[in-house]
Chain A
Amino acid sequence: MQFTSETVESLVDQFARLPGIGRKTARRLAAFVLKLPKSEVEQMAKALIAVKEKVVFCSVCFNVTDHDPCPICASSKRNHEIICVVEEPNDVMAIERTHGFNGVYHVLGGAISPLDGIGPEDLRIRELIGRVNGKSGAVTSEPMVKTKEVILAVNPSVEGDTTAYYISQLVSPFGIKVTRLAQGISVGSDLEFTDEATLTRALEARVSV
């Protein structure tokens, strides 16, 4: 097979690297981009570069943000006594969309999975313990408040379950209430893909662990 345009082909290759995109879809996307006016393509390219140049991790909750600390950690309107622990930044967005949670977050960056070579030391677990322990370190501008509750909003997978158990064992000695999202979430689905009503119910009906 001979490609008429190596350039188009390399764009297809790049799209095909994205999760959930097969070669067929990648071709359609490349064809779409070809038809776009140059200015719009430039906007797209800029947005791509910008996420790598401007976006940093919040030094308190490790969510992605343009400013450190992130608007949630910096807000005095949020309840800093309740920390909701999630796996990924997208999970924060999913919970924020419910408008049902006024606490703060902690983004682990994944779940414990020996098969993927991910241990507790690869996640922000030590930093979480530091937060609930009241020893957040010098970097943070989070007001020093005593944590009252840790909500484990990790995915309902075996890796999420195990991570939740691991964290709950570390947090409970501090006498802090540890809760888990009620398992109203359809089994096997990620938090990110759970609809808002279900997530709201799961938050309201959280159970102690």
Chain B
Amino acid sequence: MILKSIRLRNFRAHENSEIQFDDRANLLVGPNGAGKTNILEAIYMMCLSRSFLTSSDRYVLRKDAPHFEIEGVFESEKRVPIKVRVAFVPGEGKKIFVGGAPLDRFSELVGRFPVVIFSPEDQQLTSDGPEVRRRFLDNIISQTSSVYLDHLLRYGKALKQRNELLQISRKRRTAPDPMLPESWTEELIRHGSHLILARHKFVTDFSNHLESAYQKIGTVVERPSLSYDPFSDTSLQQLDLIKSDQSGADIVWSIDRIQDLFRIEIARKAASERDRGITLVGPHRDDLEMSLGLLPVRRFASQGQHRTFGMSMKLAQYEYLKERNSEKPILLLDDVFDNLDPMRIGAFLDILGSNAIGQSITTAARKEIVHDHLNGMSCHTIEVCSGGHVQPSLLEIALEL
């Protein structure tokens, strides 16, 4: 997928900006606060319906403006142009149009315009809490499976409802009707088990991509790995006791087995759930363990290793999405080169220049950060001045050699 052009109206720093992009590497340069990142934010919103920086559309509205609007023209691999328009009016909400037709549900958008964003926050993937990793999982699997996204949205609703029911029961100190909690537990398990199975399958398929991505960026040859263990050993043993025929070395992941385990865990935590009034079991509490060699990254990795691991995860995400989509994802790189050592910048630009990557859009405070390492690769450069004013690429440098 290629983004040919974008127009921003009253979007953050941009009063009315129009930008044309090249089909390959693009560089947005300008001082901090000029609105470079906002352009990536707008592109991301056209692809996935929301910002990667905030959950509220109101915050991206330019101060005192009545509404914001993003309009982009994409082009598919088959050279078919597709217009996407995002419009937001406070009080009326956001509307998204694809090819002129409004979307009933924003989830219909996800996956049509595959996108991967690299940002300085990628380090949080290895250093921060589990919710960052769950967001990563959800973002990538949703872009390849609308069924997953549907289960995810429904799981979220069922979870809210079940928590509310637990709260009400706690206040009343009794659950008046035992069938009611069971009904919500079943709904939670119904959607949650699909999330768990999909996440398990993802981790298995993703490993190869992660390893090869790490080799491309990393300098040392530790082996990166991910592991996903949604159920406790106690529950696994308990299931083996109930269904002795299933025990053995080969653990089969199936919906039925996941649902059995889910029920066992819920039953084990029932008392604590009643006490605390919240759901304590399920994929909303999942985590991914990330390791280098045998050591967990979170506790043992150096700053540089965290950085490399985070970038490898994103590069692997790109490859994973590319493999599953007829369209190459659009790659967005937000300020990732500013604090990177020259060797990694070089390695990364080599990847951007290779045929493996389709269109990329990079932001940097100074163009030299990128241009000094271009190594003969051409890069469409766009200046973003303060106030979101975009210079029609006066500084275009095409270093074709």
Contact = CB atoms under 8 A, between A and B. Distances in A.
A166 B184 CA distance: 9
Contacts of B179: 120, 166, 169-170
A161 B187 contact: yes
Nearest to A24: B92
A162 B187 contact: yes
B121 to A, nearest CB: 31
Contacts of A165: 183, 186-187
- Assign chain A's interface to a size class: 20 to 34
A161 B92 contact: no
Contacts of B177: 119-120
Contacts of B150: 187-188
Interface string B189-208: 01100000000000000000
B154 A112 contact: no
B168 interface: yes
Nearest to A164: B183
Contact of A113 (B161, B182, B186): B161
A166 B154 CA distance: 18
A159 interface: yes
Contacts of A120: 177, 179-180
A64 B336 CA distance: 62
Contact of B160 (A115, A163, A166): A115
B180 A119 contact: yes
19 contacts: A22-B92, A112-B183, A114-B161, A114-B164, A114-B165, A114-B168, A114-B184, A115-B160, A115-B161, A119-B177, A120-B180, A157-B157, A158-B187, A158-B191, A161-B190, A162-B183, A170-B179, A187-B150, A188-B105
Considering the complex of A and B, which 4 residue pairs feature the smallest CB-CB distances, nearest first?
Answer: A114-B164, A166-B183, A114-B165, A158-B157
Given A112-B180, A119-B180, A162-B184, 7 more contacts: A22-B92, A114-B184, A115-B164, A157-B157, A158-B161, A169-B179, A170-B179
Interface of B: 92, 104-105, 150, 154, 157-158, 160-162, 164-165, 168, 177, 179-180, 182-184, 186-187, 190-191
Interface of A: 22, 112-115, 119-120, 157-159, 161-163, 165-166, 169-170, 187-189
